[in-house]
């Protein structure tokens, strides 16, 4: 009975030692954990700019009985369009083929296996227009030169990275201002920054307004009004401070 008592007593002492060691280790981990006593602040920065370039996508689509015939017929159309764009002062670097596809065209008899009736070649381009006053002229000329499809006209900024840097600086300043205000209001002392995160849409957001100065079409006629708008880049940041 006495031996059992001694065994239980030493078992209890050993358990207390293990528990104390665990609590001491956990306490040290909390003290050394920089996220154990922190506070985060968010900030937002916006920058607006008038677009300085226009981007437009267009396609040349040609159908023929054979794949070679379709390609042979498509190539001169492509040359005519590229020559026209160069006459408008658009450089080679701003004329890009985005895709080139050859598709078989099928007949679908009611009860028979589908059969190839011909081929279609589709060459898709993206062109960058730096002189916005020529936007209408370029659009009209593309159709006259043989473009079958024109889409995705977009007015944007050629170097959005500069706007993103400015927007980021504003967002950081906004977050730091909030941190300083709360530091004074609550009487807390903020330590070093231990985390930073950023959220950006990545693309300018168009804010439309009526634009002046867009010229007429190929024959001097007044073309459609195409507002260039204004682009806005927005960046949000979160800064996490350690509380002293």
Q: Which of 156, 191, 215 is the last residue of a domain?
A: 156
Q: Is 222 helix (H, G, I), strand (E, B) or coil?
A: coil
- 134 with 181, same domain: the answer is no
* Burial environment of residue 53 by CB neighbours within 10 A (0 to 12, 13 to 18, 19 or more): middle
- 124 with 214, same domain: the answer is no
pLDDT tens string 50-88: 899 999 999 999 999 999 999 999 999 999 999 999 999
pLDDT tens string 149-175: 998 898 988 888 888 999 999 999 999
Pick from 104, 97, 96: nearest CA to 128: 96
- 181 with 115, same domain: the answer is no
- 58 with 146, same domain: the answer is yes
CB 181 within 8 A of CB 203: no
Pick from 234, 239, 235, 236: nearest CA to 176: 239
H helix count then E strand count, the chain: 4, 8
Which residues, at least 6 apart from 133, have a Cβ–Cβ distance to it below 8 Å? 213, 214, 215
* Domain CATH number, residue 137: 3.30.70.2970
Q: Is the pLDDT of residue 140 over 70?
A: yes
Sheet with 149-156, side-by-side order of all strands: 95-107, 115-129, 53-64, 149-156
- 180 with 117, same domain: the answer is no
Greatest Cα-to-Cα distance within the chain, rounded to the nearest angstrom: 115
DSSP 111: S
Instruction: List the domain range (segments joined by +) for residue 44.
Output: 31-49+160-243
Q: Is the pLDDT of residue 20 over 70?
A: no
What is the phi/psi pair of residue 180, to 5°? -65, -40
What is the pLDDT at residue 185? 86
- 41 with 61, same domain: the answer is no
The pTM (predicted TM-score) of the whole model is 0.62
CA 191, 195, 200, 202 dihedral sign is: positive
Q: Is the pLDDT of residue 24 over 60?
A: no
Query: Looking at the 3D structure of the chain, how many domains does it have?
Result: 2
CB 100 within 8 A of CB 142: no
The verdict on residue 131 lying in a domain is yes
pLDDT tens string 101-116: 999 999 888 778 888 9
């Amino acid at each position: 009975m006495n031996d059992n008592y001694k065994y239980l007593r030493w078992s209890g002492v050993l358990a207390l030692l293990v528990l104390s060691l665990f609590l001491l280790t956990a306490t040290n981990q909390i003290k050394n954990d920089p996220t154990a006593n922190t506070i985060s602040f968010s900030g937002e920065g916006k920058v607006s700019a008038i677009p300085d370039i226009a981007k437009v996508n267009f396609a040349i689509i040609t159908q023929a009985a054979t794949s070679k015939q379709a390609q042979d017929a498509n190539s001169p159309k492509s040359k005519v369009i590229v020559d026209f764009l160069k006459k408008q002062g658009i450089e080679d670097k701003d004329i890009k083929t985005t895709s080139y596809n050859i598709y078989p065209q099928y007949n679908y008899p009611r009860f028979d296996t589908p059969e190839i009736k011909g081929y279609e070649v589709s060459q898709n381009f993206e062109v960058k227009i730096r002189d916005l006053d020529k936007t209408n002229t370029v659009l009209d000329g593309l159709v006259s030169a043989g473009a079958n499809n024109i889409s995705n006209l977009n007015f944007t900024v050629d170097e959005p990275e500069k706007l993103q840097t400015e927007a980021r600086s504003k967002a950081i300043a906004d977050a730091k201002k909030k941190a300083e205000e709360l530091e004074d209001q609550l009487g807390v002392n903020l330590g070093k920054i231990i985390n930073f995160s950023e959220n950006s849409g990545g693309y300018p957001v168009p804010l439309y307004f009526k634009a002046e100065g867009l010229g007429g079409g190929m024959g001097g006629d007044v073309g459609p009004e195409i507002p260039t708008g204004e682009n806005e880049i927005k960046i949000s940041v979160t800064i996490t401070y350690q509380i002293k």
